[in-house]
């Protein structure tokens, strides 16, 4: 049995939002057992739990909450938190979007590791799926979670752009595997989409310092951190989006050409399965009450 964890001390990190371009400060504070992860927009006075039913916009990043009161691009920070086994955390942020930093979750991993994790007095509540749950998207995209003794993540992508092409990875996730094999992988954007994104009010904070810039056939800004950095980043995103289950997940997650919408849809399904499992386990109690009432 593993005990729930929180941060050893408060951390503050400043940076710019990838899509909003806004300079923001995020303050990560320890939280008590059972609280889970929650965001607090200190500028508008809103608290948003990091749960799948709070998911808002899912284009090019995952946001939580309603427009105007949302927190955007939460996935890299959440990924670092759950990747390292951090269960309870309050993230105060004075703007609409989590800082993008270098486009990976490595800076968050470094900060969280510096602060350290402390154990709390309650057991962690991992949810192990007992049957396969699947979500299918358009154009042959899909994601599912299968029963497994451990958390394994397998991801495959297939982009027509030759700089990316077909890539796949399969890992059993532990904090060290997460930190070494996924955390350094950076987000990426296509130069050909840049003007379109800007016109939609997105990518306002994008730069060569915070994403891999993909041209027609090459990476435009320096060398990759891994030959398959793209699929590793997609896996990093998936780990962050699955944090929206609100408790550790045990199972084999398999994703093919998925993205934030499918990731969060699976997180919602897992939450529903966990809720009905909870109901099913409580059934004998209800039955005996019903019998006693006869």
Q: How many amino acids of this chain bind Zn ion (CB under 5 A)?
A: 2
Please state the separation of Cα 132 from the chain's center in Å: 21
Q: How far apart are CA 104 and CA 220, in angstroms?
A: 17
Of the candidate spans 217-225, 230-238, 254-262, 285-293, the one that interacts with Zn ion by CB under 5 A turns out to be 230-238
Query: Does 187 help bind Zn ion (rule: CB under 5 A)?
Result: yes
* CB closer to Zn ion out of 127 and 230: 230
Q: How far apart are CA 155 and CA 174, in angstroms?
A: 16
Residue 136 annotated to the active site? no
Give the end-to-end CA distance of the chain in Å, rounded to a whole number. Answer: 40
Q: How far apart are CA 44 and CA 24, in angstroms?
A: 13
Helix/strand/coil for 285: helix
Token pair recorded at residue 11: 């951390």
* CB closer to Zn ion out of 229 and 237: 237
Among 237, 255, 256, 266, interactor with Zn ion by CB under 5 A = 237
Query: Does 73 help bind Zn ion (rule: CB under 5 A)?
Result: no
* CB closer to Zn ion out of 97 and 237: 237
Token pair recorded at residue 228: 């398959």
Least Å from the CB of residue 52 to Zn ion: 17
Token pair recorded at residue 282: 């409580």
Least Å from the CB of residue 210 to Zn ion: 11
* CB closer to Zn ion out of 144 and 237: 237
Of the candidate spans 19-27, 48-56, 186-194, 216-224, the one that interacts with Zn ion by CB under 5 A turns out to be 186-194
Least Å from the CB of residue 133 to Zn ion: 23
Q: How far apart are CA 207 and CA 230, in angstroms?
A: 17
Pairing of strands 11-16, 23-30: antiparallel
Q: Which of 181, 260, 278, 286 is catalytic?
A: 260
* Residues in region 52-71 near Zn ion by CB under 5 A: none
* Residues in region 126-165 near Zn ion by CB under 5 A: none
Of the candidate spans 41-49, 87-95, 192-200, 237-245, the one that interacts with Zn ion by CB under 5 A turns out to be 237-245
Q: How far apart are CA 207 and CA 19, in angstroms?
A: 11
- Yes or no: say if 105 and 45 are a contact pair by the CB < 8 Å rule: no
What is the SS3 string spanning 185-221? CCCEEEHHHHHHHHHCCCCCCCCCCCCEEECCCCECC
* CB closer to Zn ion out of 31 and 213: 213
Least Å from the CB of residue 294 to Zn ion: 56
Query: Does 210 help bind Zn ion (rule: CB under 5 A)?
Result: no
Catalytic residue positions? Answer: 260
Residues that bind Zn ion (CB under 5 A): 187, 237
């Amino acid at each position: 049995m593993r005990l729930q964890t929180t941060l050893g001390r408060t951390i503050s990190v400043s940076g710019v939002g990838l899509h909003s371009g806004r300079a923001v400060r995020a303050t990560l504070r320890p939280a008590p057992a059972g609280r889970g992860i929650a965001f607090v927009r200190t500028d508008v006075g809103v608290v948003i739990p990091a749960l799948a039913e709070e998911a808002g916009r899912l284009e090019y990043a995952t946001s939580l909450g309603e427009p105007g009161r949302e927190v955007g691009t939460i996935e890299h920070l959440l990924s670092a938190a759950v990747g390292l086994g951090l269960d309870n955390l309050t993230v105060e942020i004075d703007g609409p979007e989590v800082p993008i930093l270098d486009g990976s979750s490595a800076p968050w991993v470094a900060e969280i590791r510096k602060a350290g994790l402390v154990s709390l007095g309650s057991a962690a509540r991992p949810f192990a799926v007992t049957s396969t749950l699947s979500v299918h998207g358009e154009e042959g995209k899909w994601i599912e979670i299968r029963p497994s003794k451990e958390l394994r993540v397998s991801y495959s992508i297939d982009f027509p752009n030759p700089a990316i092409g077909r890539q796949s990875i399969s890992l059993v996730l532990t904090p060290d595997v997460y930190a070494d094999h996924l955390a350094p992988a950076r987000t990426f954007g296509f130069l050909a989409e840049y003007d379109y994104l800007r016109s939609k009010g997105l990518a306002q904070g994008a730069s060569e310092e915070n994403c891999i810039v993909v041209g027609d056939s090459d990476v435009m800004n320096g060398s990759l951190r891994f030959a398959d950095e793209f699929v590793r980043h997609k896996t990093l995103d998936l780990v962050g989006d699955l944090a929206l289950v609100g408790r550790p997940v045990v199972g084999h997650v398999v994703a093919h050409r998925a993205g934030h919408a499918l990731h969060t849809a699976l997180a919602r399904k897992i939450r529903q399965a966990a809720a009905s499992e909870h109901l099913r386990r409580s059934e004998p109690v209800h039955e005996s009450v019903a019998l006693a009432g006869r």
